[in-house]
Amino acid sequence: AQAYRLNQPRGLDTIRLALFDEAFSKMDTARTASALKFMRDIGLQVLLATPPDKSGALLPFVDSVRTVVRKDNHSFVIEIDKAEMESK
């Protein structure tokens, strides 16, 4: 708690970003939900990197979805419609 200074008022100009690369791949849905809720509660903006086959389980916990597509020597970031993913 001290690392995040939870007892002090937040400044408007602070960055609270957490990056995770496949961090939740071995956790069950309940533990993942608890971890993401905790991070949101302390004001972190979480960026998750996960393989496409695992992303469906995280949909209820994210605000937006992007995918990286590689073609030849170039990479592109494409926004995916979350509602469309949830309907599949």
Number of domains in the chain: 1
The Cα–Cα gap between 5 and 50 comes to: 29
**Domain annotation covers residue 37:** yes
Binning pLDDT at 50, 70 and 90, where does residue 56 land?
confident
**Domain annotation covers residue 2:** no
Which of these, 58, 10, 55, 5, lies nearest to 36 by C-alpha position? 58
User: Can you read off the two tokens belonging to residue 43?
Assistant: 């004001």
Scan for tokens 């030849």, then name that residue: 72
For residue 27, what are the domain limits? 17-87
**Domain annotation covers residue 9:** no
User: Can you read off the two tokens belonging to residue 10?
Assistant: 């937040």
High-pLDDT (> 70) share of the chain, %: 84
pLDDT digits (tens, 9 = 90+) for 10-43: 666 678 889 999 888 888 888 988 998 898 888 8
DSSP 8-state assignment for residue 14:
-
Binning pLDDT at 50, 70 and 90, where does residue 3 land?
low
Scan for tokens 């995040």, then name that residue: 4
- Residue 10 has a pLDDT of 62
